[in-house]
Amino acid sequence: MAFDVLVYLAAGTAAGFLGGLLGIGGGLLIVAALSLTLPVSGVPAPIVIHVSVATALAGMVLTFASSTAAHLRRRAVLTPTWLRLAPAMAAGSLAGSSLAQSLSGAAVRYVIMVFCVLVAWQMAFGRGRPERGPEQPLPRSLWLLPAGFAIALVSSVVGIGGGSLTVPLLIGLGIKPVRAVATSAACGLVIVLASAANDMLSLPPPRGALPWGTVGYVYLPAAAATAVAALATAPQGVRVANRISGRALRKVFALFLLSVGGVIAAGG
């Protein structure tokens, strides 16, 4: 048990920093760590990946709250754009978490693996459009509603806050990367809150007793450990994000995503 807690703390520390730095990736790291350790904690094999995803989402609530607060203090969040995305993201999160619960463990692992490969490709080789100048109107199109729903749907299935989809969307619309990350963090808070609530209120299928401390699909000890560790490092990631060039980080992060996808696939 002590070793499991150390793994959760290490995963949360890295996830918090990555979440603040890039707005992406922290949830996948936590899902990978949980998928390896939760069987030892007594989670039945058929629903290990389901509990991993739900627990990762619950553990990221404080991470995204901390990251969002830090970005708000810097006035980097694009509130009008967020107001367009947030309602659809809440609905998409509820739909996605329910969908994940209905899928088999192997199917969820496969979806996560494919997601990691696709996002890694986009991070390594994708290019955004020219940045939008501050004097131009911010994106508030109604098309942001279906985009937000789709982003949240996918995010709640694979166990992330949606930054790997929201950030490229906003950069593609011409928003500066730092402000895209800040707005993505605020969107991620909506996704993880809605998904975690739905996962905690749902009853897992009768496939063996879950360990003490599990509420719905969420294993609270792991969620708490990752949350506390991530809370401490998210503001540091935000500070670094405002100082560093993103091109090299994108390629390094692409390799990270491929590694995480491999770990999750191997866990099945």
Residue 173's pLDDT is: 80
- Separation CA 77–CA 80 (nearest Å): 9
State the Cα–Cα distance between residues 54 and 207, nearest whole angstrom: 17
CA atoms within 13 A on the CB side of 110: 5
- Does the global pTM surpass 0.75? yes
Give percent of the chain above pLDDT 70.
84
SS3 of the chain: helix, strand, coil, percent, to 5: 75, 0, 20
Q: What number of residues does the chain have?
A: 268
pLDDT of amino acid 229: 85
**What's the rounded Cα separation, in Å, for the pair 263 and 258?**
9
* Alpha-carbon dihedral 104, 106, 111, 117, rounded to 10 degrees: 170
- Is the pLDDT higher at 162 or at 138? 162
What tokens appear for 178 in the block?
Answer: 């730092």
**pLDDT one-digit tens code per residue, 51-84:** 999 999 998 888 788 778 888 998 889 888 898 8
Q: Regarding predicted confidence, which is higher, 86 or 207?
A: 86
How far is the first Cα of the chain from the last one, in angstroms, to the nearest whole number?
Answer: 22
Pair of tokens at residue 265: 């696939």
Tell me if 219 sits within 8 A of 52, measured CB to CB: no
Say if CB 54 and CB 34 are below 8 A apart: no
* Mean pLDDT, rounded, for 94-111: 93
Q: What is the mean pLDDT of residues 125-133?
A: 56
**Residue 127 confidence class, pLDDT cut points 50, 70, 90:** low
Q: CB of 213 within 8 A of CB of 112?
A: no
Domain count of the fold of the chain: 1
Q: What is the pLDDT of residues 29-57, one digit of tens each?
A: 888 888 888 888 888 888 999 999 999 99
Q: Which domain holds residue 46?
A: 2-266
At what angle are helices 48-73 and 220-241 packed, to 10 degrees? Answer: 40
Neighbours of 56 (CB within 10 A): 34
DSSP 100-159: HHHS-HHHHHHHHHHHHHHHHHHHHH--PPPPPPTTSPPP--TTHHHHHHHHHHHHHHHT
